[in-house]
Amino acid sequence: MTTAHTSPPWRHWRHVVKLDPARQITDEVVQAIAASGTDAVFLGGTQDITYENTNTLLGRLRRHAPQLPLWQEVSASDAVVDGVDGYCIPIVLNTTDPHWLIGAHAQAIEKFGPWIDWSKVLVEGYLVLNPDAAVAQLTGANTALTPQAAASYAAAAEALFSMPVLYVEYSGTFGDPALLAEVARTARRAHIFYGGGIDSYEKAATMAQHADTLIIGNALYTANWQQVLHDTIRAVK
């Protein structure tokens, strides 16, 4: 007897909201996200991420958006929470510090190994490309990549390390469509996430031509969040 293969849920995501546990967000915004048609919510950030603020945000989302898939993007092992649908594990491909390529991950596995449900873990090969972003500074990322260099990192992540997701991250700044296009052209099997500066229909439509999933984050903390939510979902769906 053969068993039908079911693709993982993230393969079908076109629009994902990323919420930072260290930043304030109102119940009105959370409820709007729940009703918006987004495919999933990520909980994650770079600075001041704790178990307490992550768990608090998770509880609010479970109350107001019980139907939405909720995944934690893990940036600190002591902030890992129960009750999410899955865990995204970032691996910074263009870091100059091996701690962010393998060191932090080995430490976390040493600490939590017996309790990890690997079926709920998604590995993300990150290309961090905004030099002014906190994540770039924390990880010592080499952000001065040409489209060809970025595509080479992507090809190595896909072919040598079998990473299922490549995340092109500009952290609040709108990125280079040509670079994203070259990454997508080169890495044909990996699923492409794009995040950075998506705050309009036009920007979402531009990057959705090359990325499988758009990640919308910083723009939801602005006064224009309702329009951003509506327009970015309309652009991809």
**In the CATH hierarchy, which fold is given to the domain comprising 11-236?**
TIM Barrel (3.20.20)
Average pLDDT of the chain to the nearest whole number: 93
Q: Is the pLDDT of residue 3 over 80?
A: no
DSSP, collapsed to helix, strand or coil, labels residue 162 as: coil
DSSP, collapsed to helix, strand or coil, labels residue 100 as: helix
DSSP, collapsed to helix, strand or coil, labels residue 177 as: helix
Q: pLDDT class for 189, splitting at 50, 70, 90? A: very high
How far apart CA 38 and CA 230 sit, in angstroms, is 10
> Residue 103 annotated as binding?
no
Q: What is the pLDDT of residues 191-210, one digit of tens each?
A: 999 999 999 999 999 999 99
pLDDT reported for residue 46: 86
> Residue 171 annotated as binding?
yes
Q: What is the pLDDT averaged over residues 84-92?
A: 96
Could you tell me which of 110, 173, 181 has the C-alpha nearest to residue 150? 181
Residues 100, 102, 103, 106: what is their CA dihedral angle, to the nearest 10 degrees? 130
Task: Specify the pTM.
Answer: 0.94
> Residue 168 annotated as binding?
yes
> Residue 142 annotated as binding?
no
Q: Is the pLDDT of residue 16 over 50?
A: yes
Q: What is the pLDDT averaged over residues 166-171?
A: 96
pLDDT reported for residue 1: 39
What is the percent of the chain with per-residue pLDDT over 70, rounded to a whole number? 98
Kindly state the DSSP code that residue 95 receives in the 8-state scheme. B
Mean pLDDT is lowest, of 16-25, 73-82, 175-184, 223-232, for: 73-82
How far apart CA 156 and CA 227 sit, in angstroms, is 38
How far apart CA 14 and CA 235 sit, in angstroms, is 10
Could you tell me which of 199, 187, 192 has the C-alpha nearest to residue 161? 187
What is the percent of the chain with per-residue pLDDT over 90, rounded to a whole number? 87
Could you tell me which of 164, 178, 187 has the C-alpha nearest to residue 207? 178
pLDDT reported for residue 125: 97
> Residue 153 annotated as binding?
no
Q: Is the pLDDT of residue 102 over 80?
A: yes
> Residue 126 annotated as binding?
no
> Residue 111 annotated as binding?
no
What is the rounded end-to-end Cα distance, in angstroms, of the chain? 37
DSSP, collapsed to helix, strand or coil, labels residue 159 as: helix
> Residue 169 annotated as binding?
yes
- With beta carbons less than 8 A apart as the criterion, state whether 158 and 187 touch: yes
